[in-house]
Amino acid sequence: MITVALTKGRLFKDFIRYLKNRDLQKYISVLENDSRTLYTEVDNVRFIFAKGPDVPTYVELGAADIGIVGSDILAEDSFNVLNVSQLPFGDCHFSIAGPPDVERFNTVASKYTNIARTFFNEKKQPVQLIHLNGSVELAPLLDLADGIVDIVQTGSTLRDNGLIEYEKILDVHARLIANKRTFYTKEDGIYQFLTEIGVMG
C-alpha cells in the first residue's frame, strides 16, 4: 500500500481532468465521490485529502509517501521532501494586481508573503506586506492595501472585482513530491502507480 496526499480545490480539479484525459476510470469514480471522507483506497493506493499547505508536511513526516502539490506551496515555505518532477497540469502564475492607475505599491496584501517579499526585495522596492488567508481581492477594495500578490489562472476573479494585473511574478504548476525514505523503500509500488497514471515511464 502506498499513500498519496492530494489537495482538494483548483489543483484537484486539474488532476481529475488529467485522469479523465487518460481514461483512468478506476481512480476517477472514487476520487469524484463528493462524500466528506478524508481518505479513500483504490487497489493498493490510499489517497488522503488535505489542505494544500499541509500536503508537504504529510509527505515530509511520512504520513504520505508521495504528494501532488502546487509549486506555489513549495516556493512559499521550506519542506524536507524530494521535489521529484513537474506534472503536466495545474499551470497558472503569480501576479501583482490592483486597481487601475496605481503608480506605486506601498502596501500589498497576500497569502504568500514570502514570495511577495522576495519579489519586492529583488526590485529593491520597500513595501509593507499584510498577510491574509483568503479573499485578498478585498484588501484594495477596502483601502487596506494598494494591491495584492496572488495566483492568477483565468483572471476572472480580478476582473470581477475591478482589479488588473500589473506584472507577472512567477509561474506555478503541479509538482510531484516524495518522502525521502519511502520513495526508495516503496519504490516498486510508487513507480507502478506513477507509470499507470502516466507521469513516469
**Closest-CA residue to 146 (of 94, 110, 99):** 99
> Is the per-residue pLDDT at 34 higher than 70?
no
Share of the chain above pLDDT 90, in %: 89
Q: What are the tens digits of pLDDT across the range 158-175?
A: 999 999 999 999 999 999
* Arithmetic mean of pLDDT, 186-193: 95
DSSP 135-192: -TTHHHHTTS-SEEEEEESSSHHHHHTT-EEEEEEEEE-EEEEE-TTHHHHTHHHHHH
Supply the pLDDT for residue 29.
Answer: 87
* Arithmetic mean of pLDDT, 127-149: 96
Torsion 45-184-88-164 (CA) sign: positive
Measured between alpha carbons, how far is 12 from 6 in angstroms, rounded to an integer? 7
C-alpha grid cell, residue 49 = 485529502
> Is the per-residue pLDDT at 201 higher than 60?
no
Supply the pLDDT for residue 134.
Answer: 85
- 172 contact partners, CB below 8 Å, separation of at least 6: 70, 71, 72, 90, 91, 92, 93, 94, 151
* Arithmetic mean of pLDDT, 24-39: 84
> Is the per-residue pLDDT at 177 higher than 60?
yes
If one counts every other C-beta atom within 10 angstroms of the C-beta of residue 37, the result is 11
Task: Work out the angle at residue 8's Cα, subtended by the Cα atoms of residues 34 and 129, and round it to the nearest 5 degrees.
Answer: 145
Q: What are the tens digits of pLDDT across the range 72-93?
A: 999 999 999 999 999 999 999 9
* Arithmetic mean of pLDDT, 138-142: 96
What domains sit in the chain, N to C, each tagged with a CATH number?
2-90+173-196 (3.40.190.10), 92-171 (3.40.190.10)
**Closest-CA residue to 125 (of 143, 142, 107):** 107
Task: Look up residue 126 and give its amino acid.
Answer: P
Instruction: State the chain's mean pLDDT as an integer.
Output: 94
> Is the per-residue pLDDT at 152 higher than 60?
yes
Report residue 14's pLDDT band, with 50, 70 and 90 as the boundaries: very high
* Arithmetic mean of pLDDT, 25-40: 84
User: Which range has the worst mean pLDDT, 38-42, 60-64, 130-134?
Assistant: 38-42
Supply the pLDDT for residue 8.
Answer: 83
C-alpha grid cell, residue 118 = 522576495
Measured between alpha carbons, how far is 141 from 34 in angstroms, rounded to an integer? 34
